Amino acid sequence: MNLPDAFIEKYQQLLGAQSTAFITSFNQPAGKGFRINPTKLDAVKPLVNTKAPIAYVENGYYGAIRGRDIVHTSGGVYSQEPSAMYVGAVVQANPGEMVLDLCAAPGGKSTHIGSQLAGEGLLVANEINPKRAKVLAENIERFGLRNTVVTNNSPEQLAAVWPQKFDKILVDAPCSGEGMFRKDPEATKYWHTTYPAECARRQKDILQSALTMLKPGGTLVYSTCTFSPEEDEQVMAWLLATYPSLTAQTIEKFPGMVAANPTWADGNPDIQKAVRLWPHLIRGEGHFIAKFQLASNTTAPIALAKKTPKKQQVNGQPTKAQMAIFNDFVAQTFKQDPFTWGHLKLQGVYLHEVSDADLPLQGVKVLRNGLNLGTFKKNRFEPDHDLAVTLPQNSFKVQHEVDEVAYQQYLHGDILTLPKPIADHKVFGLLTHEDLGFALGKFVNQQVKNFYPKGLRQ
């Protein structure tokens, strides 16, 4: 790989004898991995290679999964490079907690944290970039996370509405991305000597907003996918020096991981509590992770929010007539009502099941709130794709296993033709492949009308 000369010189100086192994590692292929969705473990395990587990991540494995594979489309796995998986493991959310992933797209860490919450508590997955936020929402949907809100705001906007709201906050910061050069060699073109310092300034602004939203006693995890001390050790040193109510927490170092280097910042020995993952020492890409606890006696929010948001989001209750239509749909589609619906909220014609967590959403741009149940259309209810990947498979009255050819046709958007009708009336059912539910279909006589979302068709 063609690395900038200044980059090579910088790391020769910083790493000394180790720099040759470091520079050589850029000619090796990027590390690949996947995490199995804990809600689909039994169905997924027989379909993937689990011979190479990642020691530091539950349900994490080395290896590659293709985007068309059923284990991917059904939300059975999330492909994520191995080092990045350690960030979620360090966050270690507990069921019931309120967690914010502030820079969340495309959703690697959010899907991990969402799984850790196991349906209890709330995850807010936020992304500032609208296009990337849409991808984030799709990945949250695919992973079947019910108690998650996806938002598209700047950190300052959120800090204005949610002071001291979260038990845990992850800032997986936008950075100079040096640790991803092997995955995306184009990124070397944007690199210049002052880029890390520019990124560090933005990271400090984001962290300040994050700290405003942290509850007293809460945990902040700061991570980057870069090697530059300006964004890693030096931002950590700045946090500790600027906010005495923060204490660095020790992160476990598994084989191949090393302590962060205090001499690359202000010499604060606590910096060693953070961890570095280097591609010449571990099977994965470059990462830096630091963890902090905010003193439990912190009274006022740590920093003042700067901007007030404008957008308003109003959630309403479905009417009695709409509930009758929805209940009718449930009775026709499911064997019995096997799951307890949470709070049902109406937004326009869209019905959602939302968390009952105390999180005001006025002024927040919400892309997705909990489970999208479907849409009211005149006198009928049209279910959302969410139901296919989120609800227990055996709860659908109609389930239809398709072969590889029909699976590919359905992903493409085609109507399927059955040898004989499955039901004697029009009904929504679950399509499965390799026994994993991946889409809804409307069964009408011998046809299955395609309800695979247009945006996901391949």
Residues that bind ligand SAM (CB under 6 A): 103-109, 127-129, 132, 154-155, 172, 174, 202, 206, 225
Query: C-beta of 116: minimal distance to ligand SAM in Å?
Result: 14
Strand partners, 53: 61
Of 54, 117, 136, 225, the active-site residue reads 225
If the CB atoms of residues 105 and 416 are measured against ligand SAM, the closer one turns out to be 105
137 is in an annotated binding site: no
269 is in an annotated binding site: no
Q: How far apart are CA 144 and CA 126, in angstroms?
A: 17
Distance between start and end Cα atoms, the chain: 31
Query: C-beta of 315: minimal distance to ligand SAM in Å?
Result: 25
Query: C-beta of 263: minimal distance to ligand SAM in Å?
Result: 26
348 is in an annotated binding site: no
353 is in an annotated binding site: no
Find, among 345, 447, 368, the residue nearest to 406 by Cα: 447
Identity at 369, one-letter amino acid code? N
225 part of the active site:
yes
Q: Which residue has the tokens 């994490």?
A: 60
If the CB atoms of residues 129 and 446 are measured against ligand SAM, the closer one turns out to be 129
If the CB atoms of residues 103 and 325 are measured against ligand SAM, the closer one turns out to be 103
259 is in an annotated binding site: no
CB count in 10 Å sphere of residue 340: 6
- Apex CA 110: angle with CA 149 and CA 236, to 5°? 115
If the CB atoms of residues 181 and 326 are measured against ligand SAM, the closer one turns out to be 181
Query: C-beta of 9: minimal distance to ligand SAM in Å?
Result: 26
If the CB atoms of residues 108 and 229 are measured against ligand SAM, the closer one turns out to be 108
Q: How far apart are CA 333 and CA 179, in angstroms?
A: 47
Q: How far apart are CA 291 and CA 136, in angstroms?
A: 24
Q: How far apart are CA 181 and CA 197, in angstroms?
A: 18
358 is in an annotated binding site: no
Strand partners, 150: 125, 368
Query: C-beta of 201: minimal distance to ligand SAM in Å?
Result: 10
Question: Burial of 95 by CB count in 10 Å (0-12 exposed, 13-18 middle, 19+ buried)?
Answer: exposed
Q: How far apart are CA 182 and CA 1, in angstroms?
A: 8
Q: Could you give the 3-state DSSP secondary structure of residue 167?
A: strand
199 is in an annotated binding site: no
Q: How far apart are CA 284 and CA 85, in angstroms?
A: 10
- Catalytic site positions: 225
Question: Binding site residues for S-adenosyl-L-methionine, as ranges?
Answer: 103-109, 127, 172
Question: Binding site residues, as ranges?
Answer: 103-109, 127, 172
